[in-house]
């Protein structure tokens, strides 16, 4: 799972190592679960020594917590970039929301294992990293909230819209629809899935029939 920008100087090598560990952890945990995955397996899959894992992360739990934070931050950045690009091109706020849906689908198609883990962890309440997960979840939802509020402020969207709930619903729609697509309808193209969700957006948020 790559960051949108590459660090410079001495941090480049460490960041590359952390990326390898993220990739190894997310794949293994998706395959066999968090409890069954060992630090030895993560190190082996990443092609590093076991001590390297502990040099970068205090424990397996900390690694997983940072993995969740890292992934959701990447998702939020993808959504934000899509909205800002649409605005720069003179698009509407509904157009920005539509671009964010596509960006979300692209992210999920690129990182399906992470998305499965993220959605599963949202429903758990007994994890040490639950508070962190709730914070980073809000980061992604807040990006959508900002666009909705701007649309309400400029009169493009109805002021009756419940912004927090609508934003959460849009993010949830993309996550669930994408997982269903990946798991049960893999023959469908990204364009096809995006088109279906776009029609829902236009009808429910945009107000078109």
The 3-state DSSP composition of the chain as helix, strand, coil percent (nearest 5) reads 75, 0, 25
The confidence score (pLDDT) of residue 209 equals 41
pLDDT at residue 163 is higher than 60:
yes
The confidence score (pLDDT) of residue 207 equals 52
Residue entry with tokens 């894992």 = 53
* Spatial separation of the C-alpha atoms in residues 95 and 101, rounded to whole Å: 10
Cα separation values, 153 from 68, 101, 169, Å: 33, 21, 20
Q: Please tell me whether residue 73 adopts helix, strand or coil conformation.
A: helix
Cα separation values, 8 from 11, 21, 52, 139, Å: 6, 19, 20, 26
Residue entry with tokens 């309440």 = 125
The confidence score (pLDDT) of residue 2 equals 66
For 141-162, write each residue's pLDDT tens digit: 999 999 999 999 999 999 999 9
The confidence score (pLDDT) of residue 26 equals 93
Proportion of the chain above pLDDT 70, given as a percent: 92
For 40-72, write each residue's pLDDT tens digit: 999 999 999 999 999 999 999 999 999 999 999
The confidence score (pLDDT) of residue 117 equals 87
Residues recorded for the chain: 209
Q: Please tell me whether residue 71 adopts helix, strand or coil conformation.
A: helix
pLDDT at residue 104 is higher than 60:
yes
Chain centroid to Cα 36, Å, comes to 24
User: Would you give the end-to-end CA distance of the chain in angstroms?
Assistant: 39
């Amino acid at each position: 799972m790559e960051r949108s920008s590459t660090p410079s100087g001495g941090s480049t090598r460490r960041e590359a190592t952390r990326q390898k560990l993220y990739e190894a952890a997310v794949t293994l945990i998706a395959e066999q679960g968090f409890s069954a995955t060992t630090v030895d397996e993560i190190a082996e899959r990443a092609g590093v020594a076991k001590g390297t894992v502990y040099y970068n992360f205090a424990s397996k739990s900390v690694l997983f917590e940072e993995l969740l934070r890292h992934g959701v931050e990447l998702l939020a950045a993808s959504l934000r970039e899509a909205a800002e690009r649409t605005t720069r091109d003179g698009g509407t706020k509904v157009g920005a929301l539509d671009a964010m849906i596509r960006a979300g689908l692209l992210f999920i198609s690129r990182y399906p294992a992470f998305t499965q883990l993220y959605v599963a962890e949202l429903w758990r309440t007994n994890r040490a990293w639950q508070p962190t997960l709730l914070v980073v979840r809000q980061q992604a939802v807040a990006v959508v909230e900002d666009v909705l509020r701007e649309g309400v402020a400029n009169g493009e969207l109805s002021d009756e819209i419940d912004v927090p709930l609508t934003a959460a619903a849009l993010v949830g729609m993309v996550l669930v629809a994408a997982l269903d697509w990946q798991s049960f309808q893999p023959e469908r193209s990204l364009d096809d899935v995006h088109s279906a969700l776009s029609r829902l957006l236009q009808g429910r948020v945009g107000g078109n029939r």
